[in-house]
Structure 1
Amino acid sequence: MRRWWAARPLRTRLTASAIALLALVLALIAVACTVTIRAFLMGQLDQRVAEAGRRAGPDVVYFVSPLPAPGGEPEGLEFLRGPGVDPRALGVRLHPDGRTDAGVLADAALRGLTDAQTRAVSDVPVDGAAHTRAVPGLGDYRLIAVRTGTPGETVVTGVPMDTLQDTVSRVVVIEVVLSAAGLIAAGTAFVPLVRLSLGPLRRIAGTALRVSGQTLHQGEVGSLERVPAADTDPRTEVGQVGASLNRLLGHVSAALAARQASETRVRRFVADASHELRTPLASIRGYAELTRRGREEIPPDAAHALRRVEAEATRMTALVEDLLLLARLDAGRPLDPARVDLSPLVIDAVGDARAAGPGHHWRLDLPDDPVPVRADPARLHQVLVNLLANARTHTPPGTVVTAAVRRAGPEAVIRVTDNGPGIPPRVLPTVFERFARGDGSRSRAAGSTGLGLAIVEAVVAAHGGTVAVGSVPGRTVFTVTWPIAEEPTTGPDTDVDPQAGRRTAARATDVEPTAGAGPRSQPSHSRATRA
């Protein structure tokens, strides 16, 4: 119950608590009023009963009607006809010899009581106090017993309590109706009042919610929204919360600005360094190749050293180009999108991969219909090349690598599947990170920069797509989803590259033509990938 109550909105709890408290107060007031009114009426009734008892006492002279009593009326109860007696009063005279005269007034006539009614009122103690008894057929009566002048004789007199009970019942009904009306009116008034009182807190919560929806861990962050000055009054509790939230947002903004400035400096440094390193690296490669191919004969050791210098310069050039591309993507450099068909690009990429890795078995699984996407063709081709190169370099010769293209609703799906040894579970969560490396079971002869899959993720994310990987021994699947391009409109950049078909025809013979061959992979929901 406590958890359920704590999960309710604050305005609901405040309104319900106020109404419950008001209901409790009204109930206490109603009970007090009812008890007071009943006690007052009971006091008046007891006075009437006591007066009736005195009329039956030994020293009272009663007015006796000169008319004879109607036949059949009880005798000895003439005092009930006296002035001021309740018109429904009853009386019982208990004689010393055991005789009993009992009657009740009804329509100005005295009617005898039944044996059950007589027994119900005969046991009232003679103590001078009024007592309540339920008389069968007549209801509740307030009774008093007194002794008469005759030794051993007792007279019991009573008046009905119907009037008192009816009055109390009407008071209770009025109290219930008025209390209900008051609660309804109070609830109707409480709801807007509580909403108005909680308006500043609701605005503060809205500000916090909007700030929490911003992406703060990466990318450029603009100025954070603040709580309005009207809701930061330190004299109120809600204002103190708003002011504290503004101070917190100020600290967060300062930290984010420092982080952004640091990342900007790092990106600028990487971009500038990569740009500046390309020229000396190209010079090193050129001079090494020029020296190795010169007319003068070079000793074998020197020729080997020159080849290694050239190879390492080539590798370092590739690393510099990758770093420069990542720096540009991090900086949000605009891409050059065009509407392209995935199938020709996949065929080209697989053909290049087969030329680079003839020891692997390369297969295609392409649809009959085009799968158009809107992307930068060069960057999309780089994604395909990196995924295929990753499969080639981290699996042994003889591995079957299948590149598949499918259309799944509003998305295009590219899957690169291999039946290699798989990615170790400890490596999966980190292989998408920059400079991540796999273990020796998936190593290659040439060194890896550890940036291939980082570039894949950055390029795919820049185009609004996603990349995922699933791996078990004997099956590794990379899945890239890319938004399908909308229907082409007239314009120079919306048509598919006209050279794609000719490149497809030229490359189609470089792969094993298997329509639907190779395993059809299912998309993995893991965000881990392979380096």
Structure 2
Amino acid sequence: MPDTALPSPAPSPVPAPVRPLAKGTLGRRLVVRVAVLVAVVAMGLSTVVALAAYNIQISQVDTRLGLALDRETRRVGGGVGGGPSGPSPGGQVIGTITATQTAATISGAILVDRSGNNTGVGFETLSTDALGQLAALNLATDTKTTIQLSGYGLYRVAAATDGTNRVIVGIPMGEVASAMTTLLLYEALLAGVVIAGAVFVARSVVVNSLAPLNRLAATATAVSNLPLETGEVEGIVRVPHSDTDPVSEVGRVGLAFNHMLDNVEGALAARHASEVKLRQFVADASHELRNPLAAIRGYAELTRRERSQLSATMAHALTRIESESDRMSTLVEDLLLLARLDSGPALDLAPTDLTEVVLNATSDARVAGPDHHWSLSLPDEPVYAMGDRYRLHQVLANLLANARTHTPPGTDVRTAVRVENGRAVLTVTDNGPGIPAGLQAQVFERFTRADTSRVRKQGGSSTGLGLAIVVAVVTAHHGTASVQSEPGRTVFTISIPSAPAPARG
């Protein structure tokens, strides 16, 4: 069902200031992106450094491995030392594995001096599992590889042949692994420090860089909460001069925003001045028209004494003059009232019993429209509102007159009052033909009329100001007016702040 309502004059609540790095803010997104970028760069650099260090150490191990392999090949081929029964001349690399392979069988293998001396006492034969791993290796000449030797740890191994025997030499990678572990730990610690420092620096830079933008947003928020619909332009703030430097992007936005506010202020000032002049003109014209209209009405009423002596045409003309002067007087009074309301109504606010207002207004409507069916829906207890009794009676009288004028005889018109969510609510409901859909959006505007031919046929009259007066009075009471209409049901609703019942005695 269509619903047309008058916007509440109360300003929108001012949103709470947003923290610079609150969730969803541009500042937070920038800091997170900078942190992610620094983390990726730090991880990339750490990876490159770790790989370079690993390759350097592997190169050094391979050089040692090549020397050991060459020495062991000469020893086995020359028969010096006789294989695994003793150390080779010149000493061994501590922990070096030496194995001699004939055909597919390891004839002997020793772990050289794992205890740290070269006297032969520290030599031991490899385990069966380790011998099996060495026998399974398929190493080409000059090929070096890293294996996890069962029971002995990580080794870098290579093989060579003297034409008859195949010599396999291995060098432990424990020192390399330990050095790489230490390097990775230091790199992780350094990367963490760098990322934390980047976040701290980025946070400071972003907060300081976005401070002008936040001040611009605060200015825009302050302006958006000004009651500009009244046309009054006092108190429009501007972006500070320090934030309007055209060199920076934010400065250009601030400068453009101030220029926009200047244009808005100028337009509002011109509009307000025009409205003030129009209100003054309407008030002055309405006031000046009251006296000549009173004179016309008086002379028209004076002719009633001699209308029996006039022709029918002349008598009808005088009757119409009297009727139209009454209508014009009503129009002038409504215009004068609207002008006064626009310029700031002087309301006599006090706790007002709306139940009594409804009873009196409905009683008057029954007298004015006996061909309609008038009914009431009242609560058990009186409903009070902080308002002007006379003006609220006028609001309800206008709504009832609107229902009487724009509905056919026999229409049911029901008036109700209730309290809802701390507000006093008045409703006027009828089962008439309803308001045309194209007219509902403008029903509260001035000089909006329904089908005038229908109004005149019913013998009523309409100035088009009744509902405009309703809205003006309700707005002055910090309330709202709305309408819901469809064929067979029209509801006008008035909502104003309620008030406690006055103390008795």
TM bucket, shorter chain: 0.7 to 0.9
Distance 1:369 1:98, change over 3 A: closer
For residues 185-264 of structure 1, what are the structure 2 equivalents within 5 Å?
Answer: 185-264=197-276
Measured in 1, the distance between the counterparts of 2:111 and 2:344 equals 105
- The DSSP-based 3-state class of the residue aligned with 1:476 is strand
Mapped partners of 1:97, 1:381: distance in 2: 118
Stretch deviating more after TM superposition (131-140 or 248-257) = 131-140
1:485 matched to 2:499? The reply is: yes
Which of 132, 136, 141 pairs up with 1:127? 141
TM-score, length basis structure 2: 0.87
Deviation at 1:257, TM superposition (A): 1.2
C-alpha distance in 2 between matches for 1:447 and 1:99: 124
Structure-2 residue corresponding to 1:321: 333
Give, as a single letter, the amino acid of the residue that structure 1 aligns with 2:71: R
Residue 356 of structure 1: how far off its partner (Å):
0.9
RMSD of the alignment, in Å?
2.7
One of 27, 37, 49 as aligned partner of 1:33: 49
Name the structure 1 match of 2:196.
184
Aligned 8 A contact 1:373 1:412 in 2: yes
Aligned residues: 474
- 1:306 alignment partner in structure 2: 318
- Contact 1:63-1:82 at 8 Å conserved across structures: no
The counterpart of 2:302, out of the listed 290, 304, 319, is 290
SS, match of residue 427 in structure 1: helix
Question: 93, 96, 103: which one pairs with 1:89?
Answer: 96
Which of 464, 467, 486 is equivalent to 1:472? 486
Q: Is the 8 A contact 1:63 1:79 kept in 2?
A: no
Counterpart residue number, 2:10: none
2:475 to 461, 471, 486: 461
Correspondence for 1:136 among 128, 145, 150: 150
2:113 maps to 1:100: no
The alignment partner of 2:448 has SS state of coil
1:439 is aligned, of 429, 451, 455, to 451
Tell me if the contact between 1:89 and 1:159 (Cα under 8 Å) persists in the aligned partners. Answer: yes
Q: Alpha carbons of 1:97 and 1:252: their partners in 2 closer, same or farther (altered >3 Å)?
A: closer
Of 100, 104, 110, 2:123 maps to 110
1:185-204: CA deviations, max 9, x gaps?
A: 33234323321221111010
Higher RCO (Cα < 8 Å, 6 or more apart) = 2
Q: Relative to structure 1, is the Cα distance of residues 201 and 82 closer, same or farther in structure 2, using a 3 angstrom cutoff?
A: farther
Tell me which of 393, 396, 403 is aligned to 1:391. Answer: 403
Once the two structures are superposed, what CA deviation does each residue of 1:264-303 show, in whole Å capped at 9, x if it has no partner? Answer: 2211111111111111111111111123335993333222
State the alpha-carbon separation in 2 of the partners of residues 334 and 78 from structure 1.
121
Deviations 1:239-259 (A, max 9, x none): 111111111111111111111
Aligned residue for 2:66? 50
Give, as a single letter, the amino acid of the residue that structure 2 aligns with 1:132: T
What secondary structure is seen at the aligned counterpart in 2 of 1:57?
A: helix
**Secondary structure of 2:142 counterpart:** coil
| AA aligned opposite 1:93 | T
**Distance in 2, Cα, partners of 1:358 & 1:342:** 23
TM-score by length of 1: 0.83
Specify the alignment match of 1:70 in structure 2: none
Amino acid at match of 1:14: L
Distance in structure 2 (CA, Å) of the matches to 1:487 and 1:303: 55
Q: Contact 1:395 / 1:442 at 8 angstroms: preserved in 2?
A: no
**What is the deviation of 1:318?**
0.6
Cα pair distance change 1:59/1:402, threshold 3 Å = closer
1:161 equivalent in structure 2: 173
**Amino acid in structure 1 at the alignment position of 2:33:** S
**Shift in alpha-carbon separation, 1:126–1:483, aligned structure 2, 3 A:** closer
Q: Say whether residues 1:335 and 2:342 are aligned partners.
A: no
Determine if contact 1:284/1:313 at 8 Å carries over to the other structure: yes
In 1, distance between residues paired with 2:363 and 2:324?
A: 26
Q: Does 1:76 pair with 2:83?
A: yes
The CA deviation string for residues 56-99 of structure 1, in whole angstroms up to 9 with x for no partner, is 1327999989xxxxxxxxx5036755556332110111236966
Partner of 1:358: 370
- Name the aligned partner's letter for residue 411 of structure 1: R
Q: What amino acid sits opposite 2:478 in the alignment?
A: G
Q: In the alignment, which residue of structure 2 is the partner of 1:173?
A: 185
Q: For 2:40, which of 6, 24, 35 is the aligned residue?
A: 24
Deviations 1:191-221 (A, max 9, x none): 2332122111101011112212233344423
List gaps (5 residues or longer) in structure 2. Answer: 1-22
